[in-house]
Amino acid sequence: MRAAGHTLIEMVLSMFMVAVILSACAVLLVTQQNNSEKPRAAMAAEEDVLHVVRTLQQDLEETDVQSIRSFPAGSDTAAGLSLESPRTLSGSTVRDAQVGGPSGSLDVGVFGVVRWHKFVYYHLVS
């Protein structure tokens, strides 16, 4: 049994081993963080697209079919779609009845007839 402390070479080797282990842990953490950011960004973009699709689908379901107009792409305008919308933002008009929805209130008259009062224009951004 030794009564003396560690030699210099033992100290250098143990410090080297600690440095290798710490650097391996740091590389693993950085790699994992970079790999987890990519799916998060893709999921956020997919969520935005799904929201747009749901809104467009809801507007198409609620619109008067005769009011749908398509606009082909021109020299100064992008391709688009215009339709009448029965939805308004809360508090913008007086209503006989309100049917709540995700994008505002649906204007319904006394006899259950939808009131059309604004056009919505969807266009493609290039």
Per-residue pLDDT tens, the chain, 126 aa: give them.
Answer: 556 777 888 899 999 999 999 999 999 999 888 887 778 778 888 888 888 888 888 878 877 777 788 888 776 777 888 887 766 654 444 443 444 444 456 667 777 666 666 777 887 776
Beta carbons of 67 and 116 less than 8 angstroms apart: yes
The pTM of this model reads: 0.47
Beta carbons of 63 and 84 less than 8 angstroms apart: yes
Write down the H helix ranges in 7-121. Answer: 8-62
**CA nearest 84: which of 60, 101, 109, 67?**
67
